[in-house]
């Protein structure tokens, strides 16, 4: 999940455009971080040294690792260590941006270093299975300090991103959160939660994004914003709220009741509500959480 928030960091800093980032996130699943990006991230080589090896590869038919060892920049042991890290998603994202010419090796290295510093991250955090650091980043990103149930709201949003990755895909970027008085809806699925967490929750998107999201969840190609699309998107919202209620019951001993979903075309999403906008390659989808409504 670090990859998605690193993408938001790049976007907010003006280092990439929304379209460039969406394209890179879509392509990263087919990309493996190359040795140069891995070596820069590990601090074994500078961007300038990587560029020197790449330049030398234009004259000598040798693999990057072998040539870096020959030129004295890496040891054989370091090459083996780096190659074992090729599956890290945030590095694959960086590699995609470098390959497409959006960023240079030096620019990516500087951006990743700044991102780590601002969020007090180490390389170990990126592979930590506990998720503690991810939860901390989400809590800082979505500040619910004024809400009586800020802990539950943070847990709700954290689980939302996990469920998006599990059931829809990891090629998205979260946008900065907003607290809004109300919003005009397009194609919307709505569900209330009652009990320990009273809230009106909604999923809203343009017609195209609504259908595309439903297609991913259903695992089949849908073409219209019809009952099948409503059913798929409503089921995702119900699934997420249901898993959240189970977690709250198990971890806090609190009970949450789900009200059946409703579907709307146009109209107003009442507030005040938190708008959680997420950009996929197919468009932007918005989740709304209105505590106490």
Can you give the pLDDT at residue 136?
A: 79
pLDDT along the chain (293 residues), means of 10: 83 90 82 86 90 88 90 94 79 88 91 88 70 75 81 89 90 87 92 92 96 95 95 95 94 94 90 91 93 81
Can you give the pLDDT at residue 91?
A: 81
Can you give the pLDDT at residue 289?
A: 93
Please tell me the CATH superfamily of domain 142-291, with its number.
CheC-like (3.40.1550.10)
- Three-state secondary-structure class, residue 145: coil
Q: Shortest CA distance to 244 belongs to which of 161, 159, 165, 162?
A: 159
Can you give the pLDDT at residue 194?
A: 94
CA 281 to the chain's CA centroid: 12
Burial class of residue 106 in the structure, from the number of CB atoms within 10 Å of its CB (0-12 exposed, 13-18 middle, 19+ buried): middle
- Terminal Cα distance for the chain, rounded: 30
DSSP output for 188-248: EEEEEEEESS-EEEEEEE-HHHHHHHHHHHHTS---SSSHHHHHHHHHHHHHHHHHHHHHH
Using an 8 Å Cβ cutoff, are 174 and 4 in contact?
yes
Q: Where do the CATH 3.40.1550.10 domains begin and end in the chain?
A: 142-291
Can you give the pLDDT at residue 204?
A: 96
Q: Which helix (H) or strand (E) holds 288?
A: strand 283-291
């Amino acid at each position: 999940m670090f990859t998605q928030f690193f993408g938001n960091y790049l976007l907010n800093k003006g280092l990439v455009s929304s379209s460039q980032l969406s394209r890179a996130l879509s392509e990263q699943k087919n990309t493996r971080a190359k040795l140069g990006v891995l070596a820069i991230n590990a601090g074994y080589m500078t961007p300038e040294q990587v560029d020197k090896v790449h330049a030398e590869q234009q004259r000598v038919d040798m693999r990057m690792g072998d040539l870096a060892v020959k030129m004295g920049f890496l040891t054989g042991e370091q090459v083996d260590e780096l190659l074992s890290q090729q599956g890290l998603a945030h590095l694959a994202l960086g590699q995609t941006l470098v390959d497409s010419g959006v960023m240079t090796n030096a620019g990516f290295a500087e951006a990743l270093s700044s991102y780590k510093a601002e969020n007090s991250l180490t390389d170990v955090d990126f592979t930590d299975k506990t998720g503690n650091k991810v939860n901390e980043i989400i809590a800082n990103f979505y500040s619910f300090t004024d809400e009586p149930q800020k802990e539950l709201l943070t847990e709700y949003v954290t689980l939302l991103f996990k469920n998006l990755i599990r059931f829809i895909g990891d090629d998205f970027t979260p946008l900065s959160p907003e607290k809004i008085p109300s919003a005009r809806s397009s194609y919307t699925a709505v569900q209330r939660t009652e009990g320990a967490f009273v809230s009106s929750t909604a999923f809203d998107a343009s017609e195209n994004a609504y259908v595309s999201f439903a297609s991913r969840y259903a695992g089949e190609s849908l073409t219209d914003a019809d009952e099948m699309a409503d059913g798929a998107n409503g089921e995702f919202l119900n699934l997420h709220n249901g898993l959240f209620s189970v977690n709250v019951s198990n971890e806090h001993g609190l009970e949450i009741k789900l009200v059946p979903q409703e579907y709307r075309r146009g109209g107003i999403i009442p507030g005040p509500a938190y708008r959680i906008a997420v950009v996929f390659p197919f468009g932007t989808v918005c989740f709304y959480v209105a505590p106490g409504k």
